[in-house]
């Protein structure tokens, strides 16, 4: 079921989850770059949507769920910045578990690096604009910011990506 078909349709919460799980999980992965954390955030988002299902089911529940998901991802990025984890083990252990880093130009290895380096809201704007194909007003509504702020976040993020490309790393 597409996003357009969900809007205003009389569906159950279970049908909604089945129809949107793939799209929202991919969005979450792009927002946090961690599959397991993305799954946790999506589950939390679905819990919050379920609590308000009667209110949001008549409108656009996917947009509401996406907004909850983006806010959770931004909060998680802030939490990670405040929390300094102390790794246990050696660098060799981490490299062995993580595998080799992606080679430059292979499956977006460098592009992933620069996207991860973007501030959380800039990354959210880029993901919502170019991955979810939302318009400026929809992004503004999702993030609770003005349309002008969406434009400035997009411009700054794209400038960082262009600078990265100019340096010949992507």
**Residue 5 domain-assigned (yes or no):** no
In a domain, 7, yes or no: no
| Structural domain count, the chain | 1
Contact assessment for residue 134 and residue 142, using Cβ atoms and an 8 Å cutoff: yes
Phi, psi of 116 (to 5 degrees): -65, -30
pLDDT for 110-121, tens place per residue? 677 778 888 888
Q: What pLDDT score was predicted for residue 104?
A: 47
Domain assignment present for 3: no
Tally the C-alpha atoms within 13 A of residue 148's C-alpha that lie toward its C-beta.
0
CATH number of the structural domain spanning residue 59: 1.20.140.160
pLDDT tens for 11-54 read 899 999 999 999 999 999 988 888 999 999 999 999 999 999 99
Q: Between 61-82 and 13-32, two packed helices, what is the crossing angle to 10 degrees?
A: 40
31 lies in a domain?
A: yes
Residue 139, domain member (yes or no): yes
Amino acid 77: pLDDT: 80
In a domain, 6, yes or no: no
Q: Does residue 2 lie within any of the structural domains?
A: no
**Residue 1 within any structural domain of the chain:** no
Q: Which helix (H) or strand (E) holds 116?
A: helix 109-117
Judge if pTM exceeds 0.75: no
Band (pLDDT 50/70/90 cuts) for residue 160 is confident
What's the confidence (pLDDT) of residue 83?
A: 65
CA atoms within 13 A on the CB side of 42: 22
The C-alpha atoms of residue 49 and residue 30 are separated, in whole angstroms, by 21
Determine the average pLDDT of the residues in 88-112: 53
Residue-number span of the structural domain to which 69 is assigned: 13-168
Say yes or no to pLDDT of 151 above 70: yes
């Amino acid at each position: 079921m597409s996003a357009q078909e969900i809007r205003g349709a009389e569906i159950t919460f279970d049908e909604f989850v089945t129809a949107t799980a793939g799209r929202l999980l991919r969005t979450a992965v792009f927002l946090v770059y961690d599959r397991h954390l993305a799954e946790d955030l999506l589950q939390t988002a679905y819990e919050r949507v379920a609590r308000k299902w009667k209110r949001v089911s008549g409108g656009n529940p996917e947009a509401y769920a996406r907004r909850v998901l983006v806010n959770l991802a931004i909060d998680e990025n802030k939490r990670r910045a405040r929390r300094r984890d102390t790794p246990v083990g050696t660098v060799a252990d981490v490299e062995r578990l993580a595998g080799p880093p992606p080679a430059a130009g292979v499956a977006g290895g460098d592009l992933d690096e620069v996207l991860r380096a973007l501030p959380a809201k800039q990354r959210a704007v880029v993901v919502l604009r170019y991955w979810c194909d939302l318009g400026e007003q929809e992004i503004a509504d999702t993030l609770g910011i003005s349309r002008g702020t969406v434009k400035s976040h997009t411009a700054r993020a794209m400038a960082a990506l262009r600078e990265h490309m100019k340096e010949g790393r992507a």
